Amino acid sequence: DAGVTQSPTHLIKTRGQQVTLRCSPKSGHDTVSWYQQALGQGPQFIFQYYEEEERQRGNFPDRFSGHQFPNYSSELNVNALLLGDSALYLCASYGGGEQYFGPGTRLTVT
Amino acid sequence: AQSVSQHNHHVILSEAASLELGCNYSYGGTVNLFWYVQYPGQHLQLLLKYFSGDPLVKGIKGFEAEFIKSKFSFNLRKPSVQWSDTAEYFCAVNLNTGTASKLTFGTGTRLQVTL
């Protein structure tokens, strides 16, 4: 049983560009959350998707948007990238009362 | 808004020493509590969780944590650490709503175990 998978593993972008990160949840899980983990910090909640709709949102600007597909996979889009968006982006899927995390995508903005 | 505080940012212990990492949260309602571990180069893994019942919970790899409601604390303990316990440890909390509510994490404690 594959766990939560994310792609790509690493990404380097330039300020002002746009990026799309992808996540496939653990088999049987229909709820996906995204977190941003800056260096030396704990993960910060961005938003959560369930039934293809955004259900909860953290304190992130509208430049951060997402989507969930009918197969429960999800995308995180970030527009107009800033240097401060450099971080590890984690996807988590929910099942059995707990959230399972993927390995993350390391985004570097130069 | 709920918040989580981890007061130990970097802890260095010798193998076989006992470990206690502090975690306090601020929220007056019913919460679920978690400890996650992030080994170097690996993804976040759940060590243990508390939803209700016995406030002393046991997790994987010999870790345990005690929920003290009056102190809003959920400290992580291990009687004897091993070199392989070197990792970053995160305390997290979410609302006990029965659904997947967002996790609020502390800033983490980096544990370094020396031989």
CA distance B27 to B25: 6
CA distance A78 to B85: 35
Which residues in chain A are closer than 8 Å to B90, comparing Cβ atoms?
42-43
pLDDT bucket at A8, cuts 50 / 70 / 90 = very high
Q: Is the pLDDT of residue B71 over 70?
A: yes
- Which residue of B4, B44, B46 is in closest CB contact with A90? B44
Residue A92 pLDDT: 97
The verdict on a CB contact (< 8 Å) between B43 and A40 is no
CA distance A6 to A87: 15
- pLDDT tens, A30-82? 999 999 999 989 999 999 999 999 999 999 999 999 999 999 999 999 999 99
B42-48: Cβ within 8 A, 24+ apart: B42/A103, B43/A4, B43/A90, B43/A101, B43/A102, B43/A103, B43/A104, B44/A43, B44/A90, B44/A101, B44/B90, B45/A101, B46/A98, B46/A100, B47/B76, B47/B89, B48/B76
Q: Is the pLDDT of residue B94 over 80?
A: yes
Report the Cα B88 to chain-centroid distance in Å. Answer: 10
- Which residue of A43, A94, A103 is in closest CB contact with B100? A94
Mean pLDDT across A22-35 = 96
CA distance A6 to B39: 18
Mean pLDDT of chain A: 95
Residue B1 pLDDT: 73
Q: Is the pLDDT of residue B83 over 80?
A: yes
Task: End-to-end CA distance of chain A: give it in Å, rounded.
Answer: 37
B29: tokens are: 């309602």
DSSP assigned state of B108: -
Instruction: Give the residue on B whose Cα is nearest the Cα of A3.
Output: B43
DSSP assigned state of A62: T
B39: tokens are: 């080994």
- pLDDT tens, B18-68? 999 999 999 878 889 999 999 988 889 999 999 999 999 999 999 999 999
The verdict on a CB contact (< 8 Å) between B107 and A41 is yes
Residue B95 pLDDT: 83
Q: Is the pLDDT of residue A1 over 70?
A: no
